[in-house]
Chains A and B, each alone.
Chain A
Amino acid sequence: MEQYLEYALYIGSVLGALALAVMLPRQSGGIRFLGPMLGAATLGGLWLFLSNGGLWADRDPGMSSASFIYYYLFSAIAIVSAVRVITHTRPVYAALWFVMVVLASAGLFLVLSAQFMAFAVVIIYGGAILVTYMFVLMLASQSTPDGGSSQGYDKVAKEPVLACAAGFLLLAVLLSVIFDYHRLDAARAQVDPAMTDAALIESTLGNRPLQAVKTYEYNDAGEAVEVAGVTQPNNLDPTRLANAERVGLDLFLSHPLGLELAGVILLVSLIGAIVIAKTKVPDEHLAVSG
């Protein structure tokens, strides 16, 4: 089956593009109902192909069938929600569907045992950012004459066919790269196993902090004096650390500059947002209508 994978992906891309093109809001909604059906069929077909295609015939016997199921579940939710985000004509609902996307991807993070990221995206995206979006949406919708429910300009998608074609062309290219096992295997074969990322991380992260840690105590004069002969327990073994601890160590040990820059960017955007919010602009709408 493996040799048909490529074609399956391409066919899936084409069908998905068709489905999405049909689903996108248009002037005459006659065939719109076909979209979800086609989309579901495509996605289902692809899933079946991927799960039963024997691609992992050699898979680990001790595999977790639970994660297998969770992957397909969250993936499907994420993709369907994403489709709804871009096809829903009412902005508030689109935003709510986006929450679903965030939640589903958080689920995927959990499957990938990145617990910290899962909670972080739910809190930051699903909480803070989405609330801001909703707030602005409500603010804008409120002051439109028709109450915001039927914003005429967003009733009809712009160039749906072309957009779908371009988007799924890109997707097809990406997928063809993602599933090109031959190439990846060949590339991997050329690399020294000891030099894999995982091996490197094990060696560096596992050893580095131990030599760096020293214990100090204050003497009577208030000076910090190194306490000799005291070593930290080797509790930084990456295999024994929680996900959040490891991310924190990586963030602060490997990316201090990025961290500082992120802080500066946040500060700048804070100030920028305040300045923008306080800027006075002429109301052309009033000028025209009045």
Chain B
Amino acid sequence: MPLTTMDSLTLSHFLLTGAVLFCLGLIGFITRRNLIIMFLCTEMMFQGVAVSLVAFSRYHLNDTGQTFVIFVLTIAAAEAALALGLVVLLFRRKRTLDALAWSQLQG
């Protein structure tokens, strides 16, 4: 099987999509100030990684890539539960979701 082909598509195509999703999530994390959106952006980064993992799995015919996505989903679920709990806690304290409201660690 030639390296550069995978059916009609190459591995690189999917990796491209995954990388774009990952970087967009990253930029979103940096530019947004709403705590919930920031966490949403991290989920988007997970999505990018998941796309890459499934693409690898398909390319290598190795199901472990997909198994990893299951783990990613697990972690994402746990993270969502805890992070959103913390966000609610922070919100209750200051009545705002602005991430800049929590910058007491300023040097």
Contact = CB atoms under 8 A, between A and B. Distances in A.
Do A and B share a direct contact in the complex (Cβ within 8 angstroms)? yes
Interface in B67-85: 67, 69-71, 73-82, 84-85
A266 B62 CA distance: 26
A168 B94 contact: no
Given A101-B47, A102-B47, A265-B75, A270 B81 contact: yes
A250 B67 contact: yes
Contact of B51 (A108, A125, A254): A108
Residue in A137, A167, A238, A255 with the greatest tally of chain B CB atoms within 10 Å? A167
Contacts, number: 286
Interface of A: 20, 24, 50, 55-56, 58-60, 63-65, 67-68, 71, 75, 78-79, 82-83, 85-86, 91, 94-95, 98, 101-102, 105, 108-109, 111-114, 116-117, 120-121, 124-125, 128-129, 132-133, 136-137, 139-140, 143-144, 151, 153-154, 157-160, 163-164, 166-168, 170-171, 174-175, 178-179, 181, 184-185, 188, 196-198, 201-202, 238, 243, 246-247, 249-251, 254-255, 258, 262, 265-266, 268-270, 272-273, 276-277, 279, 281-286
26 contacts: A20-B27, A24-B31, A58-B5, A79-B17, A85-B37, A85-B40, A85-B44, A86-B28, A86-B32, A105-B51, A112-B54, A125-B43, A132-B84, A136-B84, A140-B88, A153-B34, A157-B32, A160-B31, A163-B30, A178-B15, A249-B63, A250-B66, A269-B82, A277-B89, A279-B89, A286-B95
Given A55-B4, A154-B98, 5 more contacts: A75-B16, A105-B51, A164-B27, A196-B60, A255-B67
